[in-house]
Amino acid sequence: MTRPRRLPERPGRIAPLLVALALLGGACRTSAVPRQKITDATRLIEERFRAGDMLGVADFYSEEAILFAPGGRRFRGRKEIDDYWSNILEPVDWELKIHSIEGNRDMAFERGTSILSARYGGELRTSTVEFAFLWRREEDGAWRIQLDAFWKP
């Protein structure tokens, strides 16, 4: 008899992902997906980045958003998300290639490839990663990112 593999005990890292998966289960059950609204918001994020409006990029995140970055880094809430984006001092370009958008009229899951370029100390650096956004329609009707996770392919 084969014993099941045990997941590593890292509740600080696993719990938010389990919550997100549970939310996605409910979000992906209907066909009323707001694909155009999510696509339009994604294009606005790219435009704000190219314009150097990093706080404008951060505004697309909800007040209680969580951003998961490679290496187990996590940024939670308005201040940490604002600080994360504000640390990019010389943005150049950001392309978010959308692979899929699933969801319903209140939640959407967007998956794709991110190609982000910025200058650090005058040197151009480009990062290519896979990403997943969990979008939520808020009470005012605006779509904001609730969960942002990205990882190296």
pLDDT value of residue 14 = 41
CA angle 87, 89, 91 (to 5 degrees): 110
Task: Give the count of domains, the chain.
Answer: 1
Dig out the tokens for 96 from the structure: 């978010």
pLDDT confidence tier of residue 32, bands split at 50, 70 and 90: confident
What are φ and ψ of residue 21, in 5° steps? -65, -40
Residue 1 resides in a domain: no
**Residue 66: count of CB within 10 angstroms of its CB:** 22
pLDDT digits (tens, 9 = 90+) for 96-137: 999 999 999 999 999 999 999 999 999 999 999 999 999 999
CATH of the domain at 32: 3.10.450.50
Q: How far is CA 7 from the centre of its chain?
A: 24
**Residue 49: count of CB within 10 angstroms of its CB:** 23
- Per-chain mean pLDDT for the chain: 86
pLDDT value of residue 10 = 40
Residue 5 resides in a domain: no
Query: Does an H or E element contain 93, and which?
Result: strand 90-103
Residue 50 resides in a domain: yes
Residue 97 resides in a domain: yes
Query: What's the domain range around 43?
Result: 12-151
Determine the average pLDDT of the residues in 26-35: 65
Q: Per-residue pLDDT for 20 more than 80?
A: no
Residue 2 resides in a domain: no
Q: Between these two residues, 9 and 85, which has the higher pLDDT value?
A: 85
pLDDT confidence tier of residue 33, bands split at 50, 70 and 90: confident
